[in-house]
Structure 1
Amino acid sequence: MEKIPFVTKEQVEEIVKKYPTPFHIYDEKGIRENARKLKQAFSWNKGFKEYFAVKATPNPSIIKILHEEGCGTDCSSMAELVLSDKLGIRGNDIMFSSNDTPDEEFAFADKIGATINLDDITHIPFVKKACGKIPKRISCRFNPGGVFTLGESKEGFQVMDNPGDAKYGMTKDQLLEAYATLKNEGAEEFGMHAFLASNTISNDYYPALAKILFSLAVEIKEKTGVQLSFINLSGGVGIAYSPDKEPNDILKIGEGVKKVYEEVLVPAGMGDVEIYTELGRFMLAPYGHLITKAIHEKHTYKEYIGVDACASNLMRPAIYGAYHHITVLGKENAPLDHVYDVTGSLCENCDKFAVDRKLPEIEIGDYLAIHDTGAHGFAMGYNYNGRLWSAELLLREDGEVTLIRRAQTIDDYFATLEGFWDVV
């Protein structure tokens, strides 16, 4: 699949007159269209709701757009709960899925009516003490253990993950005990949640996960008398970071889940169970670019292009070796006849956006669009080497560009150092 940037060289040249590189920019039109397509894919389920994973892109302007498209929020910390609350997102529009959670976060989640998703059976008495009661509506997180695999290709398994090594969720026996306990403690509405694999490029992942959870839901009903009101398929539906991969088809995924729903839940008298998703990467990643400028070139044992962004702006290539496609703006149709390492300025050799990447000839001053940074891009930023967080911009549907987070300043960086300016 061809990777085409949603901004042109000419647009960027105008933008940098006001907002210098590097910056993250998001495409409002693409975000809205994708949210509507997801809703269409699950329109067969009358209670369907997407709870956007705030951790992926915690910017209020972005979350407001998604909320306007009918999405709730999935939160995992106090800050994410407060962000949602400030935007007027409360009650059943929030799922609070966290682990090793402080009691004040459970208490605040309950105060604003969020649905608490329990990560462990020991959290039942913890939540009761923190909130003064067991909430009437509550969810439990399931971990099936073992190794999860799905399908094979010439390269090996399409999806392979190891839930047994994950710190999240309860065993099946714990889950059954938890629902029975919660029912006895006065809970009235129950849900289930699970996350088995990350960034799957397979239309079969959600249906396979759904079959596991739907079958377990029937067993829970039979063994505990608890009938689930909702099942949260969590995240894991990924994107095609490299152009040689075929992206997921969310409409096919929705149809696959519907088929399993009708095979497993409907015959068990559970045809009113609401389906939730908790997508972050799928919702936002393709609709964000990191725009950076080539400022240095180096010719040693390899050919290097140094840009004004670094791993502080986009951590994934440095820590995971993750591929992010790069377009040299204005040279989209030029031959890929040069091989570069594209690097940032950090004092770490892993600070590279690309290694041995075939690209057009890059000249000092060229602008590069690093693709698929709309999720887990800015959100994972940090201040190593004293590098500052970049601005975030929004390309509106009408073509206007809006600043939705200013760039961090040196004064911001030093602001939390108590008494610093008194001693320098």
Structure 2
Amino acid sequence: MKRPFVTKEQLEALTQQFPTPLHLYDENGIRQTARKLKAAFAWNPGFREYFAVKATPNPAILKILREEGCGTDCSSLTELMLADKCGFSGQEIMFSSNDTPAEDFRLAHKLGAIINLDDFTHIDFLKETIGTIPETISCRFNPGGVFTLGASAEGFQVMDTPGDSKYGFTREQLFEGFKKLKAMGAKRFGIHAFLASNTLSNEYYPTLAGILFRLAVELEQETGCDICFINLSGGVGIPYKPDQPANDIAAIGEGVRRQFEEILVPAGMGDVALCTELGRFLLGPNGCLVTKVLHFKHTYKEYVGVDACAANLMRPAMYGAYHHITVAGKEDAPCDHKYDVTGGLCENNDKFAVDRMLPEVELGDLLVIHDTGAHGFSMGYNYNGKLRSAEVLLQSDGTARLIRRAETPEDYFATLTFEE
């Protein structure tokens, strides 16, 4: 059974101050999750989580994570600017981009970020852009083929196809790229890979680690490059459905440790630092979308219309993704009514739930849409002229703080030009 991290009474109080729809985040949950992750990899002295800014690009969230020892993973100019404004500097920033504009590389270099190259041709492009190759550099590896493992958080077998992905170096390009980068002045190297998304398996990270650790040994032996860090990226998922078991981050960390000691330590590489980019794992369950019931529609189906829409949470419309829904105050009521829960966009896929069994819903009820703390607000947009919602932080002391105001029509029109 999924229960919200906030009570009906708390929701009623904060929605008096901050109208729905709104994205709500749980500071206690964020800190506790970050500490569990850090403890799971405490055996690796150089470990650092580089939080994927794209998941939840809000200064208040980033500052909490910085206090918990995290860095940031940025993929664009503005994400770099945001990380800089939030106090991250130097190698606290990982810049992992693709199809990268020159100005993005220039800012990453100016900030002293670790640049994680996505493509072999970017080696020369980076040199031409900033005039040098940084002494610390990383490259993204794409092994090609098909990667199969267990179950995903959506309930399906994990079978991602790296060979169809636009990201990363081939194996041959990686070896050639390391040799080239070394000849151009690079001294400290990292490798990065991402093979599967949102997995619910304690074996994914250890399996990926084994692949990258063996690759690192071969790279160092063949190229003579000093591999200082290995970035396991993201992919550790969360249970969106109430009957799915959560990943055990302690067991995952232990699985990675075993691979580390079996592969890297005997090769004399026991000082390699590990990195992660677990945006969804850290923030997903620690955020929710709060929305109010506005209408009912009784036609061929029973529809509940709410004041949020796909512009506030794209994942169900875009991916058919499941997000659990709680009717605030009815957590223990029987789920004996079947509804489609819909927003107001002029698109038929604007549905947060289809044929979902819920307690009887009434006008004015507050619905909590779970697990939206990552890739929720950040994927918002203004289609149909919809305005992006506020973001609110439920602080450790129980008070609520506005951390991003809701957009206004003035914001929507601010970038437009009209002929006089």
Q: Same fold (TM over 0.5)?
A: yes
User: 1:319 corresponds to which letter in structure 2?
Assistant: M
The answer for the alignment partner of 1:234 in structure 2 is: 233
Equivalences for residues 404-423 of structure 1 within 5 A: 404-418=403-417, 420=418, 423=420
CA distance in 1, matches of 2:181, 2:137: 8
The answer for the alignment partner of 1:270 in structure 2 is: 269
Q: What is the number of equivalent residue pairs in this alignment?
A: 419
| Preserved CA contact (<8 Å) 2:187 2:226 | no
CA distance in 1, matches of 2:123, 2:371: 39
CA distance in 1, matches of 2:157, 2:62: 31
The answer for the alignment partner of 2:325 in structure 1 is: 326
Equivalences for residues 251-290 of structure 1 within 5 A: 251-290=250-289
Equivalences for residues 25-424 of structure 1 within 5 A: 25-151=24-150, 158-418=157-417, 420=418, 423=420
| Preserved CA contact (<8 Å) 1:220 1:227 | no
281-290 vs 8-17, greater mean Cα deviation? 8-17
| Preserved CA contact (<8 Å) 1:158 1:202 | no
CA distance in 2, matches of 1:225, 1:133: 21
- How far off is 1:337 after superposition? 0.6
| Preserved CA contact (<8 Å) 1:206 1:237 | yes
- How far off is 1:406 after superposition? 0.1
CA distance in 2, matches of 1:54, 1:166: 21
Structure 1 runs, 4 residues or longer, greater than 2 Å off: 155-158
The answer for the alignment partner of 2:3 in structure 1 is: 4
4-13 vs 35-44, greater mean Cα deviation? 4-13
CA distance in 1, matches of 2:346, 2:158: 35
Structure 1 residues 39-92: Cα deviation after superposition (integer angstroms, max 9, x where no partner): 000000000000000000000100000000000000000000000111120101
- How far off is 1:110 after superposition? 0.3
Q: 2:198 aligns to what SS in structure 1?
A: coil
- How far off is 1:156 after superposition? 9.4
| Preserved CA contact (<8 Å) 1:21 1:292 | yes
147 and 353 in structure 1: CA distance in 2 versus 1, 3 angstrom threshold:
same
User: 1:351 corresponds to which letter in structure 2?
Assistant: D
CA distance in 1, matches of 2:293, 2:214: 53
Structure 1 residues 362-393: Cα deviation after superposition (integer angstroms, max 9, x where no partner): 00000000000000000000000000000000
220-229 vs 333-342, greater mean Cα deviation? 220-229
CA distance in 2, matches of 1:39, 1:15: 32
CA distance in 2, matches of 1:250, 1:321: 27
Structure 1 residues 315-354: Cα deviation after superposition (integer angstroms, max 9, x where no partner): 0000100000000001011110100000000000000000
- How far off is 1:157 after superposition? 6.8
- How far off is 1:227 after superposition? 2.5
User: 1:71 corresponds to which letter in structure 2?
Assistant: C
- How far off is 1:17 after superposition? 1.4
| Preserved CA contact (<8 Å) 2:339 2:358 | yes
CA distance in 2, matches of 1:292, 1:87: 29
Structure 1 residues 4-48: Cα deviation after superposition (integer angstroms, max 9, x where no partner): 101111111111111110000000000000000000000000000
The answer for the alignment partner of 2:21 in structure 1 is: 22
- How far off is 1:158 after superposition? 3.5
210-219 vs 144-153, greater mean Cα deviation? 144-153
User: 1:336 corresponds to which letter in structure 2?
Assistant: C
User: 2:271 corresponds to which letter in structure 1?
Assistant: D
CA distance in 2, matches of 1:390, 1:8: 21
- How far off is 1:279 after superposition? 1.0
User: 1:65 corresponds to which letter in structure 2?
Assistant: I
- How far off is 1:414 after superposition? 0.2
Stretches of structure 1 lacking an aligned partner (at least 5 in a row): none
Q: 1:199 aligns to what SS in structure 2?
A: coil
Q: What is the TM-score with the length of structure 1 in the denominator?
A: 0.97
CA distance in 1, matches of 2:280, 2:168: 21
Structure 1 residues 298-331: Cα deviation after superposition (integer angstroms, max 9, x where no partner): 1100000000000000000001000000000010
| Preserved CA contact (<8 Å) 1:72 1:94 | yes
CA distance in 2, matches of 1:299, 1:151: 41
Superposition RMSD on alpha carbons, in Å? Answer: 1.2
CA distance in 2, matches of 1:388, 1:351: 15
350-359 vs 2-11, greater mean Cα deviation? 2-11
Percent of aligned positions that are identical:
70
